[in-house]
């Protein structure tokens, strides 16, 4: 089973929920993999403190033009939707950062002048954090496109019984890539106007993807009161509530999981895991 942890707004507690879920699941004897798909700013490693066993580069395919064979027909520039390859007078220029790796240019080139080669855009790291299998992707700084790195992280998911995907914030392509194929999505939110507004966007997103989901209300007590009635009206189940606890915030600041800092939270996250396992009907 694959569970994705997402949120519209950043900083609502995705990593807190994901790492603690991995922790309680591992303690219950399940084989667990934690996949950090927030490849722009991965933070799960700060809490799980894994030993990294393997590192490999993640590439994206870009075209290389053989000037000898090229007839300057310009078809490659015609098919490319991203302006990543253009004919300028007598030469053909490639802009690797704009390339999405669709392969259109090499397919369309009648002269067979275009081959594809892999360009490194990030790193995939795998290892173990105790009983938890740990995987994270790291997008190279300056690279714009994270989805290929997220795909690489997700491609390692197969063997574990329970796969926990820590998604990036937002609702656009990187998030879609991270939650795609999940059996259940946990949306983490907080009771503030920003948290509530972005939760509604995240709900629209998971509904468009037709994925079953539920909500975790974090920092309950902050003051906003709109989220609960909204969830009731929308028939969205609130899977768990986490109080606004300064001790948790302090533990978080030091890279300590809630369950390690305050063992009484084990029950809370175990309850959440059960709610997720039982809650696969569409929200």
Partner 1 sequence: MNELVVISGKGGTGKTSVVASFAALAEKAVLADCDVDAADLHLVLQPTILERATFSGGSQARIMPGHCTGCGKCEELCRFDAIFYDGPGNGREPKTFRVDPIACEGCGVCAWFCAEKAIEFAPAESGRWFISDTRHGPMVHAKLGVAAENSGKLVCLVRTEAKTLAVKQGLDLVVIDGSPGIGCPVIAAVTGTDLVLVVTEPTLSGMHDLERVAELTEHFGIRTLVCVNKWDLNAELTAELEARAQEIGVGVVRRVRYDPAVTEAQIGGQALVEYTKEGAAKDVRRLWTQVSEKLATSNPFAMR
Site of interaction with partner 1 (CB under 8 A): 8-12, 15, 38, 40-41, 43, 46, 79, 81-82, 100-104, 107-108, 139, 141-146, 168-174, 176, 180, 192-194, 197-198, 201, 204-205, 208-209, 222-224, 246, 249-250, 252-255
Select 133 or 154, whichever has its Cβ closest to partner 1. Answer: 154
Query: CA–CA separation, 12 vs 215, rounded Å?
Result: 12
Select 104 or 283, whichever has its Cβ closest to partner 1. Answer: 104
- At residue 242, the 3 state secondary structure works out as strand
Select 64 or 197, whichever has its Cβ closest to partner 1. Answer: 197
Select 31 or 123, whichever has its Cβ closest to partner 1. Answer: 123
Select 125 or 143, whichever has its Cβ closest to partner 1. Answer: 143
Q: How far is the CB of 31 from partner 1 (least distance, A)?
A: 26
State the helix-helix crossing angle for 14-27 and 265-278, rounded to 10 degrees: 90
Select 13 or 162, whichever has its Cβ closest to partner 1. Answer: 13
| Residues ≥6 apart with Cβ < 8 Å to 94 | 62, 63, 64, 65, 84, 85
Query: CA–CA separation, 245 vs 240, rounded Å?
Result: 15
Q: How far is the CB of 190 from partner 1 (least distance, A)?
A: 8
DSSP 8-state secondary structure symbol assigned to residue 200:
H
Quick check: 84 and 100 in contact, CB under 8 A?
yes
Quick check: 38 and 136 in contact, CB under 8 A?
no
Q: How far is the CB of 28 from partner 1 (least distance, A)?
A: 26
Q: How far is the CB of 172 from partner 1 (least distance, A)?
A: 4
CB neighbourhood size of 207 (10 A) = 14
DSSP 8-state secondary structure symbol assigned to residue 164:
E
Q: How far is the CB of 37 from partner 1 (least distance, A)?
A: 12
Q: How far is the CB of 238 from partner 1 (least distance, A)?
A: 20
Select 11 or 57, whichever has its Cβ closest to partner 1. Answer: 11
Among left, alpha and beta (phi > 0; psi -120 to 50; other), residue 187 is beta
Q: How far is the CB of 61 from partner 1 (least distance, A)?
A: 8
Q: Annotate 34-84 with DSSP letters as a single string.
A: EEE---SS--HHHHH-PEEEEEEEEEEEEEEE-TTT-----HHHHH-SSS-
């Amino acid at each position: 089973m694959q569970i994705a942890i997402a949120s519209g707004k950043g900083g609502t507690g995705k990593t807190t929920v994901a790492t603690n879920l991995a922790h309680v699941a591992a303690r219950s004897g399940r084989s667990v993999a934690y996949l950090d798909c927030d490849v722009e700013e991965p933070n799960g490693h700060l809490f799980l403190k894994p030993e990294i066993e393997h590192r490999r580069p993640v590439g994206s395919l870009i075209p290389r033009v053989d000037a000898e064979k090229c007839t300057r027909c310009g078809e490659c520039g015609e098919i490319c939707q991203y302006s990543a390859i253009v004919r300028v007078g007598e030469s053909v220029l490639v802009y690797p950062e704009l390339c999405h790796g669709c392969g259109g240019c090499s397919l369309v080139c009648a002269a067979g002048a275009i081959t594809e080669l892999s360009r490194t855009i990030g790193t995939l790291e795998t290892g173990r954090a105790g009983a938890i299998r740990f995987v994270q992707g790291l997008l190279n700084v300056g690279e714009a496109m994270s989805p290929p790195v997220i795909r690489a992280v997700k491609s390692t998911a197969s063997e574990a019984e329970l796969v926990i995907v820590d998604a990036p914030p937002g609702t656009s392509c990187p998030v879609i890539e991270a939650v795609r194929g999940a059996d259940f999505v946990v949306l983490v939110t907080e009771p503030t106007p920003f948290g509530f507004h972005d939760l509604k966007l995240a709900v629209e997103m998971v509904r468009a993807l037709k994925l079953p989901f539920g909500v975790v209300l974090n920092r309950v007590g902050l003051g906003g009161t709109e989220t609960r009635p909204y969830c009731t009206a929308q028939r969205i189940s609130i899977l768990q509530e986490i109080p606004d606890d300064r001790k948790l915030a302090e533990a978080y600041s030091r890279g300590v999981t809630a369950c390690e800092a305050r063992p009484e939270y084990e029950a809370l996250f175990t309850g959440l895991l059960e709610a997720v396992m039982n809650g696969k009907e569409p929200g």
